[in-house]
Amino acid sequence: MVDGHCQDRDIGGAWSYRVDSGSCAHTERNAPRDWGLVPKLPDIFPGVSSVLDYGGGLGAYLISFRDAGVANLTLMEPLAETECVFKGLRHDPTNLVTATINSVVAGKYELVMCIEVLEHIPAEHHPHLVNALSKLTSKWIFFSAASPKQPGEGHIEESMKTREQWQRDFTASGQLELDPDKTLEVHQNGGNLIKSNSFVLGLKQ
Q: In terms of pTM, does the model score above 0.85?
A: yes
Residue 49 lies in a domain: yes
Question: What CATH number has the domain bearing residue 111?
Answer: 3.40.50.150
Residue 48 lies in a domain: yes
Contact 25, 84 (CB under 8 A): yes
Q: With pLDDT > 90 as the criterion, what percentage of the chain qualifies?
A: 74
pLDDT computed for residue 65 by the predictor: 98
User: Does the pLDDT of residue 44 top 60, yes or no?
Assistant: yes
Task: Give the number of domains in the chain.
Answer: 1
Alpha-carbon radius of gyration of the chain:
16
Flag the least confident range among 82-86, 95-99, 191-195: 82-86
When pLDDT is cut at 50, 70 and 90, the band that residue 14 belongs to is low
Average pLDDT for 181-197: 96
Stronger pLDDT, 67 or 9, i.e. the higher one: 67
Residue 2 lies in a domain: no
Q: What does each C-alpha distance from 84 to 119, 167, 193 come to in angstroms? A: 24, 33, 26
Residue 193, helix vs strand vs coil = helix
Residue 134 lies in a domain: yes
Task: Supply the range of the domain harboring residue 87.
Answer: 7-203
Torsion of CA 87, 89, 94, 100, to 10 degrees: -170
Q: Is 64 exposed, middle or buried (0-12, 13-18, 19+ CB in 10 A)?
A: middle
Cα separation, 42 vs 69, in Å, equals 10
76 sits in which H/E element = strand 72-76
User: Does the pLDDT of residue 125 top 50, yes or no?
Assistant: yes
Contact 6, 13 (CB under 8 A): yes
Residue 118 lies in a domain: yes
Residue 1 lies in a domain: no
